[in-house]
A and B are shown apart, each in its own frame.
Chain A
Amino acid sequence: MSGTYLGMPAFPRAAATATRDTRLRANLTHATHTIRDKRAKAVAELDDWAQLRAAGAAVKDRTLRRLDHYLEQLEAAVTAAGGQVHWALDADEANRIVTRLVRETGESEVVKVKSMATQEIGLNEALAGAGIRAYETDLAELIVQLGHDLPSHILVPAIHRNRSEIRDIFRREMASWGRPAPEGLGDSPAELAEAARLHLREKFLSAKVGISGANFMVAETGTLVVVESEGNGRMCLTLPETLISVVGIEKVVPSWQDLEIFLQLLPRSSTAERMNPYTSTWTGTTDGDGPQTFHLVLLDNGRTDTLADTVGRQALRCIRCSACLNVCPVYERAGGHAYGSPYPGPIGAILTPQLRGLAGPLEESLPYASSLCGACYEVCPVAIDIPEVLVHLRERVVQGGPVTLGGTRTVLQPAKGHAAERAAMRAVGWAFDHPGALRAGMRLAARTRRLHPRRLPGPGRAWSRTRDVPEVPAESFRDWWQRTRGTSSGRGTSSESGTSSGPGTSSGPGTTSGPDTSSERRGDVK
């Protein structure tokens, strides 16, 4: 992996670059619209979807409230089943633990099943630093790895690539990672899949160590669960002698009965399948079958800090289905890389700033990477109110406030760079709370309206680059009301000019003879 997420530019800048990339936008629009339409159909098939969704949210909330209890139960069950549990407070600790565990096997190569947690901590880079090569075996992850690229989607990490780009990457790169691409490789899905199959099979059969994530962990039995479409994950989970699973602590569910809910919610939300092709579960070790050594690395990395925030913690319900990415109009145009994290799209915009803290320009800009259209909340199978959390985090950015960082309660200072905005908001807020002053300002604006430029200076410049600014009308509504009604309590009791204000003579729009609004551009369809 050549890339790193650190040092990514702030969202608006990265997104502006992406919107100009017409091929990227075409790839993304095509892919997201296809999945989004299929998802809507798959969800519509279930008439109890709303109840399932509520149940999913409730189970996750209940679990998060007593997370310590369920994690201890999980640890005891995993240990009893012959596994070993390791606790990692942050990315560095997790990477150190995994590196040590791999070293202890004496191996210098590992196969990996797609795992967001290991992306989050930069495990591949850490292993490379220790002389250990990690091979991604999920097809899309393989494409990303061979392309020296970063994933740009939770479920389809190479969504930003089209078939001919993938063929070029395979032809160019496969040889240096193992079995080369077949002669004369074309770009049909079957050919590409076959090339990947041949390339990966070598790895599966030789690898002694597998590294995985997990979609769920069942506390009552210490069972881990991976849900996938290709079956490559199952190869990783069963063929090596040692299996190391790195999983975020929020992935625990209390019981198998709870799991049942998520095994319905996840496939329909993610791939629009009624049931996913492969669901693998593993519990500790079994003599003579599968990996003989099993390690579970439980990753915190900002999760307990997130849990301490009563509004923001709902982000930890996420089951990584990617439905919110596929409906998000911002993700569709900005692309996944603009989010600077393995978690792009709406969930990334609320998860990344919470896991990392509002630590830098990127993290501060992510809560604003949304028009608050609410499409993400509507599709989320565990009902995470993403717009609510976005606004909550915006408040943290501009006003600061109490947060938990590294387990300690502190008060966050307002971010720098919002001083002008804060002053403007204060001034606007003051004006709106002083209608007299506001009205004077509006009258001034109306009197000078002929002088207003159609293109704005300052922070409004970006707006008027692509849009025309509306003309200020000659008279505000307030002044019209006062002039025609003269009272705040309805019609006809005016002392000013209310005599003409009966319903019969009302000069509403749609009339071409409105005495006072003829200069307004809007409303006339001509």
Chain B
Amino acid sequence: MRVALFVTCINDMLHPRTGQAVVALLERLGVEVGFPAEQSCCGQPQFNTGYRQAAEPLMRRFDRAFKDYEYVVTPSGSCAAMVRDNYPRIGAKAAAEGRGRGLVDAAAFAVPKMYELTEFLVDVLKVEDVGAYFPHTVTYHPTCHGLRVLGLGDRPRRLLEHVEGLELRELPGAEECCGFGGTFAVKNPAVSAAMGADKVRHILASGAEAVCAVDNSCLLHIGGTLSRRGAPVRPVHIAEILASTGGTAGTARNARTEGSVR
């Protein structure tokens, strides 16, 4: 099984820890992980803002970077959704504009190997208990792309439910968008902030110590709002929870029994 990590541009620059968590987790599960350095951004910001053609070179780059791999795994629901949902559209439009079938082929190649992390764990590796230990109360925010485009369903929850020490708290209004939406947050700041404020209110109502999701871009927005309000809740990518283990977190286990349910 040849598995490549598609870390994504945001994680590469702002959340290297999430990428490291994916590597640690997959290696712990016996998967050999490669990181093709040629990889870059999936083109989602460009495409979603209306610059479809600016996404095309990035799509070709994706194709080149991952051509030797059977699976591409990413800790980002929205980037996985971009590849799976929009690459075929970009390919079809380019072909319709008379620019050949290169991008159609690139999409046909990329789509079947693209997996969001929790999908890869549950569907390909067929594990739900990844042997993680995380002695905290956590609430799960299902991101829009994970929920509606990828159809992740309860995969992330099933993984979290098997994490030792973790107490999962219900999130009111869980399926509502947090208000990030890429450039939406910049173009419609008032509405985006109002949505973020409501999401944060619900997170606080859950009483959890941490909020997790399959996408750091949503967590960036949620975390920025939490931090501005001085709220003690931490945003954590689900990969970082799943990568935590009893062994490595041993000191934490002893020191923080009050946060543990076991």
Interaction A to B: yes
Which residues of the other chain, A, contact B38 by a CB distance below 8 angstroms? 435, 488
Which residues of the other chain, B, contact A334 by a CB distance below 8 angstroms? 191
Which residue of chain A lies nearest to B180 when distances are taken between CB atoms in the complex? A371
A467 near B50 with CB under 8 A, answer no
A15 contacts chain B at the CB level, 8 A cutoff: yes
Q: How many B residues have CB within 8 A of the partner chain?
A: 96
A89 contacts chain B at the CB level, 8 A cutoff: no
CA distance A67 to B9 in the complex (A): 46
A466 contacts chain B at the CB level, 8 A cutoff: yes
Give the contact-size bracket for chain A. Answer: 35 or more
Which residues of the other chain, B, contact A378 by a CB distance below 8 angstroms? 148
B54 contacts chain A at the CB level, 8 A cutoff: yes
- Min Cβ gap B201→A in Å is 12
B234 contacts chain A at the CB level, 8 A cutoff: yes
Q: Of the listed stretches A56-64, A244-252, A475-483, name the one at the interface; the rest are far from the partner chain.
A: A475-483
A467 near B23 with CB under 8 A, answer no
CA distance A510 to B36 in the complex (A): 25
Which residues of the other chain, B, contact A69 by a CB distance below 8 angstroms? none
> A15, A372, A459, A525: which has the most chain B beta carbons within 10 Å?
A525
A374 near B148 with CB under 8 A, answer yes
Which residue of chain A lies nearest to B259 when distances are taken between CB atoms in the complex? A525
How would residues 13 to 52 of chain B score, 1 for a CB under 8 Å from any chain A CB and 0 otherwise? 1111111110111011000111111101101011111111
Contacts A372-B184, A508-B243, A510-B240; A394 near B50 (Cβ below 8 A): yes
A522 near B58 with CB under 8 A, answer no
- Min Cβ gap B174→A in Å is 12
- Min Cβ gap A304→B in Å is 21
B52 near A469 with CB under 8 A, answer no
How would residues 499 to 517 of chain A score, 1 for a CB under 8 Å from any chain B CB and 0 otherwise? 0000100111111101011
- Min Cβ gap B239→A in Å is 8
B79 contacts chain A at the CB level, 8 A cutoff: no
Which residues of the other chain, A, contact B184 by a CB distance below 8 angstroms? 368, 370-372
A12 near B51 with CB under 8 A, answer no
A468 contacts chain B at the CB level, 8 A cutoff: yes
A375 near B16 with CB under 8 A, answer no
A429 near B191 with CB under 8 A, answer no
Contact of A468 among B7, B25, B224 (CB under 8 A): B224
B54 near A473 with CB under 8 A, answer no
Which residues of the other chain, A, contact B61 by a CB distance below 8 angstroms? 432-433
Contacts A375-B144, A425-B49, A508-B23; A329 near B41 (Cβ below 8 A): no
- Min Cβ gap B184→A in Å is 4
A512 near B252 with CB under 8 A, answer yes
- Min Cβ gap B221→A in Å is 6
A523 near B144 with CB under 8 A, answer no
Which residues of the other chain, B, contact A426 by a CB distance below 8 angstroms? 54
CA distance A503 to B52 in the complex (A): 40
CA distance A213 to B204 in the complex (A): 47
CA distance A511 to B24 in the complex (A): 11
Chain A residues 3 to 21 lying within 8 A of chain B, measured CB to CB, are 11-12, 15-16, 19-20
A329 near B177 with CB under 8 A, answer yes
Which residues of the other chain, B, contact A525 by a CB distance below 8 angstroms? 134, 136, 209-210, 234, 236
B228 near A442 with CB under 8 A, answer no
**A interface residue numbers (CB < 8 A to B):** 11-12, 15-16, 19-20, 25, 329-330, 333-334, 367-375, 377-378, 388, 391, 394-399, 421-422, 425-426, 428-429, 432-433, 435, 438, 442, 445, 459-460, 462-463, 465-470, 472-473, 475-478, 480-482, 485, 488-491, 503, 506-512, 514, 516-517, 520, 522-526
A-B contacts, 12 listed (Cβ < 8 Å): A330-B191, A372-B184, A373-B177, A375-B175, A429-B43, A467-B193, A469-B224, A478-B7, A478-B12, A506-B23, A508-B243, A510-B241
Which 4 A-B residue pairings sit nearest by Cβ, starting from the closest?
A: A508-B24, A371-B181, A510-B244, A394-B50
